[in-house]
Amino acid sequence: MAEHILELDGIKKSFDKTQVLKGIHLSIQQGEFITFLGASGCGKTTTLRIIAGLETPDEGKVFLNGKDVTGLEPNRRNVNTVFQNYALFPHMNVFSNIAYGLRLKRLPKKEIVKKVEEILELVQLSGYEKRMPFELSGGQKQRVAIARAVVNNPQVLLLDEPLGALDLQLRRQMQIELKRIQKRLKITFIYITHDQEEALNMSDRIVVMDNGQLEQVGTPNEIYYHPRTSYVARFVGTANILSGRLTRVEDGIAWVEVVCQSREPAVLVRAKLTAAQAEKNQLGQIKPGQKVSMAVRSENILLEKEAGPGLRLSVIEKNFAGGMLRICLDGGLQGELVSSRQGMDSAFQAGDRITAYWEPEHGILVDLE
């Protein structure tokens, strides 16, 4: 068996004169749950269609279990796809929908029955064999679609925003179910979404894409706590991006001058260097005086009424969203900044002058890699 179940080697793709993929290199291991995360138009669905064989790259190759499958038709690749719209056969009951691929393989009837019963139990739909698609809820239809895709034991299962049509509560429930199924079957899942919550909850690794390129590939922890670019910091979670000038690095801490108001003096804020950044600093690739960008997650910005070390800002407004209270701050030249916390209210009011600060480990230098 090859070291990697799937490899994308220099994949490029254009439609008309628009380059959609700009040289994708990625290796995926057997049994990984990989999520491609990005805004609409970033190239994630085109990448999935190339893996499935539904599109042909202009340049580059696709390797499945060490074999070059770039030119193979979809039905000659051991890859199945689950779509957002379920794509169930409306004239077939649940059993027949799931058994369809097994019948094409001309497996014995008893073996088909056994496999379908096993997969129905796995997706918690035992007893639904005779129901027609129109008799099922959205979540049940999606489970049937997943069952039909995995019953053939593909090497890779592609999921193109499969939960997008479900309501929030059911979507969260299905996230748990999908992860359970994936771990049970040990099949490589490649999941496409623009929903950062899905990506963070389900993935072994996340591939963040933007404008046809891979911005960052890493574990959910790495993507969230150590974003390499301002795009990743903003797209995954809520991050404030501050621009400033590096003054010095001491004991792995970068000191950065930040100006919020043109008539006010610069304020020194701090960020902890990652291991890769510390190595760059030792090589002289991070130098005092250079312009840098710093990301700070909204939940890590602390506020105090009294003046002190930090940024002196004015409160613009407060609003409540997703279980978090958001306090919007006027960052002047830095734009609007956001501090968030659990709860419904705080003592701060619009117009208040406050001090915003954070611990050094919560400051992240970005766009240096």
What are the two backbone dihedrals, phi and then psi, of residue 250, each rounded to the nearest 5 degrees?
A: -135, 125
Assign 3-state DSSP to the chain and report helix, strand, coil percentages, each to 5.
30, 35, 35
Neighbouring CB atoms inside 10 A of 312's CB total 15
Report the distance separating Cα 184 and Cα 236, nearest Å: 28
Length of the chain in terms of residues written: 369
Report the distance separating Cα 125 and Cα 104, nearest Å: 23
pLDDT tens track of the chain, all 369 residues?
457 999 999 999 999 989 999 999 999 999 999 999 999 999 999 999 999 999 999 999 999 999 999 999 998 899 998 887 778 899 999 999 999 989 988 999 999 999 999 999 988 899 999 999 999 988 888 889 889 988 988 999 999 988 877 787 888 888 888 898 899 889 999 999 988 989 999 999 999 999 999 999 999 999 999 999 999 999 998 899 999 999 999 999 999 999 998 888 899 999 999 988 999 999 889 999 999 999 999 999 999 998 888 999 999 999 887 778 999 999 999 999 999 988 777 788 999 999 999 999 999 999 986
- Closest C-alpha among 239, 250, 149 to residue 190: 149
